[in-house]
Amino acid sequence: MKKFWLKLSAVLLSMMMIATSVAGCNGTDNPTTTSTPPTTTDEGLSILDPSIRLRIATTTSLYDTGLWALLEPMFEDEFDVEVDVIYAGTGISIEYGKRGDVDIIVVHDKARELAFIAEGYGTQRYAFASNYFVIVGPPSDPLGLKGLSPEAAFQKLAESKTTKFISRGDDSGTHAKEQAIWKSAGYDYDAIQDSGEWYVEAGRGMGPTLLMANELQGYTMSDMGTFLAFKADTGLVAIVESGSILLNVYSAVPVNPDKVSGVKNADAAQVMAEWLMTKTIQDTIGQYGVKDYGDPLFIPTYGIEPTS
């Protein structure tokens, strides 16, 4: 009987060692696995591991307006997690997400965001703010675009070829919206690109593109927030600012760790997405810019995504 209990003890000890080894291997192979689940705050958001940095890829308009400069330290202070923000166009941000270079993307191109999720790269879309695109230009409005629809304004630009239009030309959300307007106006975008020197591709962020439009005394398209933030530096004015096609919605999409092996901080990515939707942060977004520009640069959604 004594031998039996000794054998049984040895078997149980061996099983415990194997279980411990397997658990350790899982933790090494999957960097998103934590030894203990994160606890939560009174608001229901997780208290995170401060040793793992959160990597974010975000559109340049959120950088150029200064919104991320406000939100980043707020998140870091509240959750004691360091944040690394990469500023790029929507297209590049999505590629970073697919490659696992970041844990969450914050962009503004709904069609590509939904495709990103449908292909398994993203978990869920959190539409947290919006504003509108606007066609801007010099106060003289040399082509007389004021009061036209976006499509009619683009048609007049293409037909006249006398005043420059400066495109982002960088696969950003703004660039994608511009292409959508050309299509809605009945033009093939490839033909527009090759139609003459009047069409200039900046290949740069929104702020530098606005500055270039001022230098060339031409037109460009901008999100309203960046336009207002740079208005004093450019002297450009809003020329076309109405039309449902100009709606611009910003969304956060955590990268799916089950699909993308490079994700390092899925917990913080999820918390960031939910944090952007909290009333405190929505109120903060809604007040941002009012003091300096008289109007908010972004409109919070409060959980209801605008459609027009």
Whole-model pTM: value is 0.83
What Rg, from alpha-carbon coordinates, does the chain have? Answer: 24
Query: What digits encode the pLDDT tens for the residues 114-168?
Result: 999 999 999 999 999 999 999 999 999 999 999 999 999 999 999 999 999 999 9
The verdict on 240 and 256 lying in the same domain is: no
Residues of the chain with confidence (pLDDT) below 70: 1-44, 46
The verdict on 195 and 254 lying in the same domain is: no
Instruction: Examine the fold and report which residue of 212, 230, 247 is the final residue of a domain before the chain moves on.
Output: 247
CA count, 13 A, side-chain hemisphere, 1: 0
30 occurs within a structural domain = no
48 occurs within a structural domain = no
Q: What pLDDT does residue 45 have?
A: 78
The verdict on 149 and 224 lying in the same domain is: yes
The verdict on 111 and 155 lying in the same domain is: no
Q: What pLDDT does residue 41 have?
A: 57
Q: What pLDDT does residue 43 have?
A: 62
The verdict on 145 and 221 lying in the same domain is: yes
CATH number at residue 90: 3.40.190.10
> Which residue range is the domain that position 270 belongs to?
54-130+249-300
241 occurs within a structural domain = yes
The pair of three-digit structure tokens given for residue 104, joined into one six-digit string? 């969450």
Task: Express the helix, strand and coil content of the chain in percent, nearest 5 each.
Answer: 45, 20, 35
The verdict on 259 and 111 lying in the same domain is: yes
74 occurs within a structural domain = yes
Query: What's the domain count of the chain?
Result: 2
The verdict on 235 and 220 lying in the same domain is: yes
CA count, 13 A, side-chain hemisphere, 138: 15
Place of tokens 């960031």: 272
Query: What digits encode the pLDDT tens for the residues 29-60?
Result: 333 333 234 455 556 676 788 899 999 999 98
The verdict on 155 and 196 lying in the same domain is: yes
176 occurs within a structural domain = yes
